[in-house]
A and B are shown apart, each in its own frame.
Chain A
């Protein structure tokens, strides 16, 4: 008798095999035993523990979500201009990194300390980038004077290039890759006209959307900050 393969047993467990296989499992002691062993293991992972979320969780998620939805977006986000200017500290950090490394000088500061500064500068930069990307992805071409976004993109572009270079030198390929993706969006905005056509805007929004850029920025920002703080 030809016994069932492991793969056939797995699909039988999930109710995806035809009746011939099921019949075989019922009638063949060897395969029945093999199926039982598989079933015990698979049954045992069903109770994979997930932290509880109570009834109010949905409301919490909603509360966290609303600031990011275009309908409920607080109009004052651009008034937080201080968030959007290139951060002086970040630029200092970058200059410091670039300087120390190009001159191949041991500045008496540990690699860890330099890494920490870089990670925090990246996190900072990503926060400002996130605000610009969010604003752009929710923007509507009709009312649009994009001169402020353009200025912001130009500032961020400069900072972005310096940070990418520093990240590359520090061997941080993943962050450098993300900054590279960001640069393409910033370039579009920075070099675009102050009044974007619906088409231009859509192109920018598609780029942000298709690459899941906002999401990556958010994850990386949190990671970089946590990692930097731990160093």
Chain B
């Protein structure tokens, strides 16, 4: 019998380790993707994955069985990533640049799908511009954007994850898009010219 998330969460909160294991194995990859988009760095993302599940384990008793487990989990994960970004900022360290490998992989993927030269040129430009652009967002803006754009959170869920009001959440998404747009715009201008 396969446990649903809610069933597994309930069992796990009673101390059933196998149930917790089901949740970890089921959601690790999704948490990693979220963590990577938030931090832009594999090692940091791995740290966030581990910390997320440790926090989940400790907070399982607070999980409302009627809520969606995934949303609750991603909220905790986004908060871990936010903590990490803030800790990094406090240490005033430059982010380790993400591997070019992933960007190249993406390029191959795009090129294979649509090999028109302009498209490839533009993709190459965006691949190089996106991570620096994301790094220039504030931690809150980056969180809001990743949750909205990649995880499909609605404004109310983002507000809850960030512990802010709906207006502030909405504004953070907008600010993030605005900044990204300005940073990426040149790829279109060069492509068109």
B3, CB-defined interface residue at 8 Å? no
B1, CB-defined interface residue at 8 Å? no
Shortest Cβ gap from A82 to chain B (Å): 25
Contact A212-B155, Cβ < 8 Å, known A10-B174, A65-B24, A174-B90: no
Q: What DSSP secondary structure best describes chain A's contact surface? A: helix
Inter-subunit contact B148/A53 (CB<8 Å): no
B126, CB-defined interface residue at 8 Å? yes
Query: What are the interface flags for A35-62 relative to B under an 8 Å C-beta threshold, 1 for contact and 0 otherwise?
Result: 0011011101111111101000111111
* Chain B residues at the A interface, C-beta cutoff of 8 Å: 15, 17, 20-21, 24-29, 32-33, 36-37, 42-43, 47, 49-51, 53-54, 57-58, 80, 83-84, 87-88, 90-93, 99, 101-103, 105-106, 109-110, 122-123, 126-127, 130, 148-150, 154-155, 170, 173-174, 177-178, 180-181, 184-185, 187-188
- Can you pick out 29 interface pairs between chain A and chain B where the beta carbons lie within 8 Å of each other? A6-B174, A10-B173, A14-B149, A37-B188, A41-B184, A45-B184, A46-B149, A47-B109, A48-B150, A49-B127, A51-B36, A51-B42, A53-B29, A58-B24, A60-B28, A61-B25, A61-B49, A61-B53, A62-B25, A68-B54, A69-B54, A72-B17, A174-B92, A209-B58, A215-B47, A215-B84, A215-B87, A216-B87, A218-B51
* Chain A residues at the B interface, C-beta cutoff of 8 Å: 6-7, 10-11, 14, 16, 37-38, 40-42, 44-51, 53, 57-62, 64-65, 68-69, 71-72, 174-175, 177, 209, 212, 215-216, 218-220, 222-223
